Structure 1
Amino acid sequence: MRMMWKVRQLLEDGADPGATDDKGRTALHLAACNGHDQIVQLLLSHGADPDLKDGLGNSPLHLAACTNHIPVVTTLLRRGARVEGLDLAGRTPLHLAKAKLTLLQESHPQCLEAVRVEVKHVIQMLREYLERLGQHEHRARLDDLCSRLQSTSTKEQMDEVTELLATFTSLNVQIQKQEKR
């Protein structure tokens, strides 16, 4: 809460919400990466650019997606952040969500609940992305994955849900690429 007050005070005193550090990051990049949704909202309301890229080509949405800050992803998307924005490696935030799923599949997690939470976050992010892209026809498929996720009790069942989600995410990454051509 104290940080929120400081940011508000700085903005009211005329601080530039688009000011960057030596790596090209703005306060919005840092707030998004750290999951400070209220600060993200405040910065956006003071004119911060949700699509400004840092030195690595990451937008605040890229950073929020790869750190699993769903409320920040939602805020950024609802405030106009570009879903199709690319970082320097040519990845969209959706690619980062897919990479996170791949890591989950390749790891050998000790705690099924931790994987369940991660997969649920990726489903929520994907739901927001697809909503933003206007691809409402996929909502039922994501709802089905959520239901299956809730009923998982073994690593094998979790792997199955994760694989289905990874395949679904890959298809949407491919669709995104085709639409750009």
Structure 2
Amino acid sequence: MPRHRLFTHARTRSGLLTPLLTSAVAVALIGSVAVQPDLISRYAADDMAAVAASDSGDSYDGFDAKAAEQLRQDQCLLGETLRMGGPAMFGVAQDGLNQTPDKLHTAANRSYWETTPLSTAFEQDRDAADKEGSALYDHIRDFEISGLPTPSGFQSKADFEWPPGTSGDDRPNFFQ
């Protein structure tokens, strides 16, 4: 059974019709602008008025670039503090990021030589880390062995009695 082609004649005519139709539309558009040139100047004047208004100093669009830059810097600082700081610094950073921009800026104050929330939290974390480090260092003496004969395989008495990672030993210690 032969297949009927419905649009075969349209395809053959479209080869001639497409360039003709495109040319006719282009001529019509150019002709309308030539007949009414005030259309171009009217729309261009509207566009230029908007540009002139945005360039003048008395129009304010509500965007302050310096404030936005400062806000982003504060957010980045507290974001880094969330990842790298100790528990107290984490709390200050998390609280600051959940606040208004003014409170965020107060939390992210970079004047660490003054008393700021971030500097206070850093000192708390540093003191806690020093206390923990001192407690761990005190336990190194727990691993010392004394009073036993040195077994074979050790280079010296200190090599046997002292734990790894102490007294000039390059091996990692028990805490690493």
TM-score by length of 1: 0.26
Higher relative contact order structure (alpha carbons within 8 Å, sequence separation ≥ 6): 1
Q: Which structure has the larger Rg?
A: 2
